[in-house]
Chain A
């Protein structure tokens, strides 16, 4: 059983289109994330969701919107795709703890988005 799964693995689309990437985790974690890895391999967090509540939102264009129907799913919607959006997008999950050990983040296999 895959702990964190994302679909699709590859996505090629034209500029201006709207697309979604799905993510599901079966670990029972309460926090899910989206990270972007650019062409230089730099990983940066985009969003974090905890119990359906958006915790953080970095300087990400509002064309990107996370949607969480339940705590096991966090989908990423992207509107009006631009060439610069081409990257690998990783979903991750962890269990948020206060005053105790934090768990490691488990990552999905990544979605390589190519905008042409």
Chain B
């Protein structure tokens, strides 16, 4: 069965610091998809990124970057020059390819990121 581990329950940094959120996953499928979602204090779930198991290219989007390493089953998320608006709970999630992903997402327990001014 699939599993996602976010070992960091809470991280607190001062604004403008860089911060990395860790995500380690387990799956028996060779084809799978990894996601990051943001849940701000308002409560909605905001999609950030999707990565396929056959694409290990790292991705950068503005201050956000993601490092996918199949060798260590990790999909880490880095925020550069953090801002107070980045304060939220961040979830890493996994979707296996069998049945076309209709099994839904398996989420990690989330990392609560606090950016202090």
Hey, which bits of chain A sit against chain B, CB under 8 A?
A: 31, 33, 35, 40-45, 48, 50, 55-56, 88, 90, 92, 94, 96-98, 101-107, 109-110, 112
Q: Contact between B107 and A44 (Cβ–Cβ < 8 Å)?
A: yes
Q: Contact between A102 and B103 (Cβ–Cβ < 8 Å)?
A: no
Q: Contact between A56 and B95 (Cβ–Cβ < 8 Å)?
A: no
Q: Contact between A102 and B33 (Cβ–Cβ < 8 Å)?
A: yes
Q: Which residue of A lies closest to B46 (CB)?
A: A107
| B99 sits at the interface (CB 8 A) | yes
Known A-B contacts: A41-B110, A104-B47, A105-B105. Give 5 more (CB < 8 A): A31-B102, A35-B104, A40-B109, A55-B102, A94-B101
Q: Contact between B103 and A56 (Cβ–Cβ < 8 Å)?
A: yes
Chain B residues within an 8 Å CB radius of A92: 45, 104
Q: Contact between B44 and A109 (Cβ–Cβ < 8 Å)?
A: yes
User: Complex: how many Å from CA A115 to CA B64?
Assistant: 39
User: Complex: how many Å from CA A107 to CA B43?
Assistant: 11
Q: Contact between A42 and B102 (Cβ–Cβ < 8 Å)?
A: no
Which listed residue (A90, A96, A110) contacts B100, Cβ 8 A? A96
User: Complex: how many Å from CA A61 to CA B112?
Assistant: 30
Interface on chain A toward B: helix, strand, loop, or mixed SS? strand
User: Complex: how many Å from CA A70 to CA B33?
Assistant: 27
User: Complex: how many Å from CA A35 to CA B37?
Assistant: 14
Q: Number of contact residues on B: which range applies?
A: 20 to 34
Chain B residues within an 8 Å CB radius of A110: 43-45
Q: Contact between B43 and A41 (Cβ–Cβ < 8 Å)?
A: no
Q: Which residue of A lies closest to B52 (CB)?
A: A101
Chain A residues within an 8 Å CB radius of B43: 88, 109-110, 112
Chain B residues within an 8 Å CB radius of A106: 47
| B97 sits at the interface (CB 8 A) | yes
Q: Which residue of B lies closest to A56 (CB)?
A: B103
| Given A41-B110, A109-B44, also A48-B103 (CB < 8 A) | yes
20 A-B contacts (beta carbon < 8 Å): A31-B102, A41-B112, A43-B105, A48-B102, A48-B104, A56-B103, A56-B104, A97-B100, A97-B101, A98-B100, A102-B33, A102-B50, A102-B100, A102-B101, A103-B50, A104-B35, A105-B35, A105-B104, A107-B37, A109-B43
